[in-house]
Amino acid sequence: MTHALAPCFALTLAAISASCRSTQTLPPAGEPGAPTPGCRIVLPAFEPEPGQPPDALDASRGDELHRSQIGATILVSLSAIASRIASEVPPQAAASRVNVGAAGLLTYTARRTPFTASLRGQRLHFTSQINATAEVCKPLGPLGCVVYAECQPAAVADASLGLEPATDWSLGPSRVVVAMTRSCTLGPIDATSMIQRGANQQAAALRAKIDASLPSLLRPATAIWRAARLDAELGAQHLRFDPDQMTVGTPVIQGDIASIPVVVRGAAVPGSAAAALASPPNPPPPRSDPKSAAGIVVRAPLLLDSRSLSQSLVQNLTPLAISAGSARAAPVTVEAHPMSDGLRFELQLGGDVCGRIPFIATPALDRERGAVRLDDVKVMLSARSPLTRALPDLDQRQLELAIQQRVSIPIPTKAEAVAELLGRSTDKIRPDGAATVELGKPAATFEGITLAPQGIFVWATVRQDARIEVR
């Protein structure tokens, strides 16, 4: 019992005795299993061991065959954020004067370098070097304030923010730290601590201004989420993609751009046009997932129901000619039943030989033809079954290979149709306002088969690149 291929096969039934036929209880004419007119050899009734029906399609489980994602890379301009920060920190700070008691007056001015961006872990840092000049003077009446000591302290200003959005999809909060890198002592005065206190006060004010000016990812995230809530007709079927989570991947910096993968995950399942989508219209709080990758991968289940399978098998197998000595037979009807162990089907023969022969096979994809083939076709007969004793000369292997060669069940919906549907859906990713969208060309393939109680689901997979840039 195996696979492979022969266009027809011969049955030598010389060993079938008349007494074997006469002992059968025949069903009334016109009922399944009833002998057709002219039937000379009636195969005995045989019921194979009952099988377990397959599990119902559960596209919510986490295996890759069933899950889909619609995502994009949100591109954040680092120079735009740096410009916002720089606008709050002028290149040269105004002179500050502090009364230091008997020592006189401390005056200092500071200049900063342009901010440079870098990514450290999950935080984006904008760093500037600060060089200052500090001097202390003593008021001497008409001589004014006479400078008697000076120094050049230095510091590093670091403004950082997390690129993983908060629960409301905002970036931040920021952190602003000014760290002294060169101290300053003016006679009895430790100017370093005074300058540090002033810098800390300015850092707190700067942090509030930065947080108020940071871009939000809510708009593009909402656009992605709503585009993912797919509910449309696909051929004779109704397809629904109800997302259930939204994740944010690890950001990457290339040049002036920080890339943040934002991915919606969920299940594409056959649905009803009358049923409302269960997912809310606005995105949930993001979840961190370092494995999140940008792009669109939608896996859509296309149903071949049992009736369609039976009809296709009839079309494939009725031309099959069966020879049994001088007797001739051919399949008349085929009934297909998906089970947990494979696709079971029964051949109802007509002609000189009549009766039912049960088979089991493994459905597999024939990607070149856009069809389903049957692998590992096996006659479900044991050596001691009545059917085997009735057909001692039946070449079961040749029969199995002949069926396996002939069966090619067309998939009614092309994978490209799923890509076209997805293209219409992803048009909704274009959010209003400060964002642009780039969508790549979708590519569609068939990638798997699932047995279900109502038939076979063929999974069409569509992949598409997508980018969203926040300015």
> What single DSSP character describes residue 205?
H
- 346 within 8 A of 385, measured Cβ to Cβ: no
Per-residue confidence (pLDDT) for residue 307, from 0 to 100: 92
pLDDT above 60 (res 36): no
Residue 362's pLDDT band, with cuts at 50, 70 and 90, is very high
| Beta strands at 252-254 and 237-248: parallel, antiparallel or unpaired | unpaired
Most confident of 219-228, 300-309, 387-396, 408-417: 300-309
Residue recorded with tokens 């593009």: 220
Mean pLDDT of all residues belonging to the chain = 79
Residue 3's pLDDT band, with cuts at 50, 70 and 90, is very low
CA proximity to 45, closest of 342, 357, 443? 357
128-163 residue pLDDT tens: 999 989 999 999 988 999 999 999 999 999 999 888
User: 128 vs 1, which has greater pLDDT?
Assistant: 128
**Length in residues, the chain:** 471
Tell me the mean pLDDT in the region 349-371. Answer: 88
Tell me the mean pLDDT in the region 112-137. Answer: 88
Q: With 0.85 as the threshold, say if the pTM is over it.
A: no
User: 52 vs 408, which has greater pLDDT?
Assistant: 408
- Diameter of the chain by CA atoms? 141
Tell me the mean pLDDT in the region 441-452. Answer: 86
- 11 within 8 A of 394, measured Cβ to Cβ: yes
- In one letter, which amino acid is 457? F
Per-residue confidence (pLDDT) for residue 33, from 0 to 100: 47
105, 155, 182, 266, 390 from 99: Cα distances, Å? 5, 22, 22, 65, 116
Per-residue confidence (pLDDT) for residue 351, from 0 to 100: 84
CA proximity to 147, closest of 160, 134, 157, 130? 134
Per-residue confidence (pLDDT) for residue 285, from 0 to 100: 93
16, 303, 396 from 382: Cα distances, Å? 18, 33, 11
Across 13-27, 164-178, 338-352, 426-440, least confident range: 13-27
Instruction: Kindly write down the DSSP assignment for every residue of 326-394, as one continuous string.
Output: TEEEEEEEEEEEEETTEEEEEEEEEESEEEEEEEEEEEEEETTTTEEEEEEEEE---TTSHHHHH-TT-
Report the Cα 131 to chain-centroid distance in Å. 50
